[in-house]
Structure 1
């Protein structure tokens, strides 16, 4: 009686899974999402930094309470400003 052995082969030279994912558009979509996230985060931080740098009098002239700064920055990031 002959016994047959089956072996698995892993080919690391061709990157099939990576090329399939890239061809499906998942990697570019992920990179686009990451770029968008970091751009929105940078805008949020810059807005908070600039508004926090203003004096209470300057903020009052703009009609902004210091407690509203984070919500204003969030609205700016979400395009609601």
Structure 2
């Protein structure tokens, strides 16, 4: 019969989970920053410029969201 001993300390597990959490938060902040930048760039365009590229002003938020989060 074989026995398996788990020797990983709980501190290592805690710090690994904390690092993972901080990495996830950083990734979320990066996506949020990209969304805000994309939104701002489109929002700065005039209605005429938006019409030239086929975008309505009310669609800017959806376009920015799709560009960042579904890319």
TM-score normalised according to structure 1 size: 0.68
Gaps of 5+ in 2: 1-8
Q: What displacement does 1:79 show?
A: 3.4
Question: What is the CA RMSD across the aligned residues, in angstroms?
Answer: 1.7
1:54 aligned partner: 45
The total of aligned residue pairs comes to 63
Gaps of 5+ in 1: 1-15
Looking at CA atoms only, which structure, 1 or 2, has the larger radius of gyration? Answer: 1
Q: Distance in 1 between matches of 2:11 and 2:68?
A: 33
TM-score normalised according to structure 2 size: 0.77
**Structure 1 moving runs of 4+ over 6 Å:** none
